[in-house]
Amino acid sequence: MHPNPIYRQTEAERSLEFALAAGFGQIMVSADPVPLVAHIPFLQGQQGDEIELHLVRSNPIARLLQNIQTPAKLSVSGPHGYISPDWYGVKDQVPTWNYVAVHLSGTLRMLKHDQLLALLDRLSAHFEAQLAPKPAWKSSKMTPEVLQKMLRQIVPCSFKIEDIQSTWKLNQNKTDMSRLAAADAVEQTGVGSETIALAALMRAAGGSNHGHD
């Protein structure tokens, strides 16, 4: 998380909504000699302060969870991109990188295996709904034997959220004129939907403060 408090003012509820809308992140747990990281899709659990996910059974994190529940962090990245100092329209600026990042801290545990299929059905239904009017894929379309073989290879998990931290670094330390000029340049010169989304966030960031990156 960036230490400048001007980038740390977004409400926890909005940051959580942002993470849930992304639906994909990196779950991390402490280990020796280095932390373990898994890249996972997820969705909000039936309890509002929990996230549902699954891991491949052979994943080192899944092996760890067979015996214990463990502190973990879920990192979700949003749009990001390079910001040229030429775009601000004022002198004596330096390059920087704008981005949105949300860190959810909490406790990760493995669920009972009989909860897996219902979790997978909720997960697929959540993402299939975003593809409407495409008819939603459902696990019932699979051959039962193939489905059961797949289910044996993964495990259901729950992540209880205990803290939410975020950085929304969108040139809030610049004047509105400079920030909006940079947002225009990001949109015009950027590549792909990610920089377009970054430009939109920069325009919405507001604030006329001055400071250092």
Task: Enter the DSSP assignment of 153.
Answer: T
What does the pLDDT read at residue 91? 95
What does the pLDDT read at residue 15? 97
Q: What is the pTM of this model?
A: 0.89
What does the pLDDT read at residue 92? 95
What does the pLDDT read at residue 193? 63
Burial class (CB in 10 A: 0-12, 13-18, 19+), 134: exposed
Q: Name the stretches of the chain with pLDDT < 50.
A: none
What does the pLDDT read at residue 29? 97
What does the pLDDT read at residue 159? 98
CATH topology for 5-113+156-203 is Pnp Oxidase; Chain A (2.30.110)
Contact between 156 and 114 (Cβ < 8 Å): no
What does the pLDDT read at residue 167? 97
Give the start-to-end residue ranges of the domains of the chain.
5-113+156-203
Q: Residue 89 corresponds to which tokens in the numbers above?
A: 């329209």
What does the pLDDT read at residue 206? 77
